[in-house]
Amino acid sequence: MRIPGFGKARRAARWLKRNLVPSALVLLYHRVAEVTCDPQWLCVTPQHFAQHLEVLKKFGPTLAVHQLEKALRQERISRKTMAVTFDDGYADNLYNALPLLEQHGVPATFFLSSGYLGQEGEFWWDELERLILNPGVLPKTLRVTVDGGTHEWDLGPAEQYGEEAFARDRSWNAMLPQERTPRQKAYLSLCSLLRTLLPEQRSHVLEQLRNARGAAGAGGRPSHRALSPEEVKKLADSSLAEIGAHTVTHPVLAALPVDRQREEIGGSKSRIEEILGRPIHSFSYPFGMQGDYTSETVAIVRDSGFACACSNFEGAIDRETNPYQLPRFVVRDWDRDTFVRFLEEWSRG
Ligand SMILES: [Zn+2]
């Protein structure tokens, strides 16, 4: 049955949603850098990041996450408001991202995993990439034990992995559908395994993998290091930078007992506040999909004194959005046109 005027009302509602109901968008970056191998597709080149900022400035107002949360609470949000965020705390955020943010006058929120600050070692997913996907020799059967259980990967001829093979495979990332090499399969399988382990179990697996690489297993790459506490202070000196927390060791919080979750969340907050000498207000969940944290996690974040938290599932933000689960869109190494298309698609809803 056709209801008279219904189509018109629906069109009007759509027009209202598009033009009057304010909505905001939070963008998620990790690194602004050029690297030889990026299996998680986390790096945006400085050239592309500059293009994104040029586009963003013309598109709508930009706020740091805590300002966005306050504006939402006070119902002062404008349409097409955007927030730029960075997860993890890579040193390139200070050296490559901040100068471009300042040049374009765009604020950003940097969520730091406090246990990595000032450490020589790499973030665990980067170390895994270095040990498995970089040139070097591994055992024909790669074997690690976790709590008495053994996990094995048959690398076959890929135990030897030279510069030529690396050059051929280096543009691969985990999102590509193409057939995977034995090294890539082992890497992805280890990623899944390490994600859900307790931090000390994860360290133990990485130690076994380092040993499997022999002398070449030691040492982190300066290009992949995290910020030092001094650099965190420098970053925070910028009026455009908000600093937030992202746990201590970057675990899947849902896989940890509640007391360990509390240590990860509260511990990162107090360490960063100790470095800065002032309170911080924003948090982001490691990995951040709905299965990576629980309702208990959200309650711990709130009870630890954070005003808001970012997740990692897609969605627009309006007055109804839970400030402790703000959706975000991961930005990839897109050129200007792709980024414009992404924003246009989002604003059309
Ligand atoms: Zn992260």
Instruction: Say if residues 305 and 269 touch (Cβ distance below 8 Å).
Output: yes
70 Cα to the center of ligand 1, angstroms: 24
Question: Mean pLDDT by 10-residue block, N- to C-terminus, for the chain (349 residues)?
Answer: 53 54 87 91 96 95 96 85 97 98 98 96 93 90 92 87 84 80 92 92 94 82 96 98 97 96 98 98 96 97 98 89 95 96 86
CA angle, 175 as apex, 136 and 182 as ends, to 5°? 35
- Please give the pLDDT value at position 22: 64
Q: Are strands 31-32 and 24-29 parallel, antiparallel or unpaired?
A: unpaired
Which H or E run includes 309? strand 308-310
Which H or E run includes 108? strand 108-112
* Per-residue pLDDT reduced to its tens digit, 42-60: 999 999 999 999 999 999 9
329 Cα to the center of ligand 1, angstroms: 13
203 Cα to the center of ligand 1, angstroms: 17
286 Cα to the center of ligand 1, angstroms: 5
250 Cα to the center of ligand 1, angstroms: 6
244 Cα to the center of ligand 1, angstroms: 12
* pTM, two decimal places: 0.91
259 Cα to the center of ligand 1, angstroms: 21
172 Cα to the center of ligand 1, angstroms: 21
93 Cα to the center of ligand 1, angstroms: 13
Residues 6+ apart with CB under 8 A from 292: 252, 253, 254, 285, 286, 312
> Which residues in 5-30 are b (16+ Cβ under 10 Å) and which e?
eeeeeeeeeeeeeeeeebbbbbbbbb
Distance from the Cα of residue 133 to its chain's centroid: 21
* Per-residue pLDDT reduced to its tens digit, 263-296: 999 999 999 999 999 999 999 999 999 999 999 9
Instruction: Say if residues 323 and 69 touch (Cβ distance below 8 Å).
Output: yes
CA angle, 327 as apex, 326 and 331 as ends, to 5°? 130
- Please give the pLDDT value at position 157: 84
- Which domains are assigned to the chain? 20-119+225-348 (3.20.20.370), 124-222 (no CATH)
323 Cα to the center of ligand 1, angstroms: 19
Q: Report the C-alpha gap between 124 and 115 in whole angstroms.
A: 11
41 Cα to the center of ligand 1, angstroms: 13
